[in-house]
A and B are shown apart, each in its own frame.
Chain A
Amino acid sequence: MPLRKSCKMEGAGSGIDTLPDGVLQHILGFLPARDAVRTCVLARRWRDLWMFATGLRIISNCNDEMGELREFVDHLLLTRGIAPLETFELGFDGVSADDFCEGDVLRVNLWFRHAIRCQTASCHVTIPGNCTCILLEGLSEAKNLALIAESETFIFKKDLRHCPTFSKLKTLLLSDYLCVALDLDAITCILKHSPVLERLTLELFRQGSGHKMLMKGSYSPVHTAAAISEHLKIVEVKCEVVDERVYKVLKLLCTFNIRKLINNAIEFFQYL
């Protein structure tokens, strides 16, 4: 079975027109949303392809006004409907935190709910610096989640006081490229609010440098420490060096009975 639907244009010549719709929709899924929508004017065949793009990447530029972005995304979601999505990416790098008002928080949560209704397998959020908005609420229905912190303060500090329960969350990736955003309270809180979590990955290294170490651990539930998901099978911590911060995280994990964080940096590249 091919990966993407093959409804190929009969008698098409060569070039991009020979690709099946499913593949074109996958290609559009890698484009920023606005570029993807605009392909509708290329030719008749392209008119509706963007609506079924496998990924939706809403990425703001530095010169984007929050108001414009709001309008764009609302229209976009209404027009595309709930065609299935594999990836939903929301990046607010270009938006200054001052423009991000309380109403936007609700709105962003709605966008996420929409994405989750489209059976999105992976949500990816990048948050502007100094922004302490509540995003977790909208994500609480997600099954799989990747939260990437690329700026100095992360969503969690304020959010955590109202941390929702991630009742369906099975896999979680927390990346902290600047090594300042994720703190122990954040990890604790998320773990405690994810009752069915099966896999946790923590990336604690600087962006671009890659990690040199991978530590794997597992959770052995004992009756005294029922604070976190009893389904947790795999825990991974990726880092460059074990510095004080990583050490603290490891210690924290130990308090949850997550042990055997073996450092097998040399032979860990084994395919599953």
Chain B
Amino acid sequence: MEVDKGKGEAEETRKVAEADRDTVTLKSSDGKLFEVSKEAAARLSTVLAGMIAGGSIDDNGTDLKQIGSEALENVVDYCNKHANSIPSAALISSSISFNTAPFKEPEEWERKFVDRLSHDALFDLVEAANFLGMERLLDVTCHKISEMMKGKSPDQIREVFNIKNDYTKEELEEIRQELAWAFYDD
């Protein structure tokens, strides 16, 4: 039980301690806790940066109800790897200081990072990156998915991603005629 007297003080101490910590604790939808460097989190995620700046980070684990533990683990893993890797100039110029430059190809480690993921894990990570405002991670994961589509026929794409074709035959024919300029060599 907390004694009223000194509560404010304790609160104050807790806040200071929190500000001094160099990691933040994140809590997935299924209650698992992950620690990530505060600097990396603030740099890579606009949402976490806002929460850190706004003081809405909870020492006992900031609730991220939209993100499952597997995706959050990948997010944290990405942040840590990002913090450890020596970023190439390409990365710096694309996402941090020169955000007007065209998208730069993923780094070797980023490629490996997304290549090892299952389809479902990749989709969950895309959503987490989108939710947390992690532009570079969103780019890298979306780029990976685009590579899985590139050069494939519609049938092949449907198969890879398990997409159900809900068009009627007539509708399909109509679209193909409308967009004949994109299907001219079929």
Q: Is the interface of B mostly helix, strand, loop or mixed?
A: helix
The smallest beta-carbon distance between B57 and chain A, in angstroms, is 18
Tell whether, in the assembled complex, residue B133 and residue A2 are in contact, meaning their CB atoms are under 8 Å apart. yes
How far, in Å, is B157 (CB) from chain A's closest CB?
6
* Contact across chains for B43 and A6 when beta carbons are under 8 A apart: no
Minimal Cβ-Cβ distance residue in B for A172: B100
A18 touches B127 (CB 8 A): yes
Is A264 interfacial (CB 8 A cutoff)?
no
Contacts of B151 in A (CB 8 A): 35
Chain B residues with CB below 8 A from A44, complex form = 166-167
CB contacts under 8 Å to B, within A1-42, are: 1-4, 6, 14-20, 22-23, 26-32, 34-35, 37-42
Q: Are B130 and A41 in contact (CB under 8 A)?
A: no
Q: Are B130 and A6 in contact (CB under 8 A)?
A: yes
In the complex with contacts A15-B119, A38-B154, A39-B154, A71-B181 CB distance below 8 A:
yes
Whole-angstrom distance between the alpha carbons of A26 and B142 in the complex? Answer: 7
Number of interface residues of A (CB under 8 A): 59
Q: Which of B88, B120, B147, B166 contacts A210 (CB 8 A)?
A: B88
Task: Say whether B183 contacts A19, CB under 8 Å.
Answer: no
Residue of B nearest to A74 (CB): B181
Give chain B nearest CB distance to A208 CB in angstroms: 11
Complex partner residue of A3 from B89, B93, B135, B152, CB under 8 angstroms: B135
Contact A15-B161, Cβ < 8 Å, known A31-B149, A87-B103: yes
Chain B residues near A75 (CB-CB < 8 A): 181-182
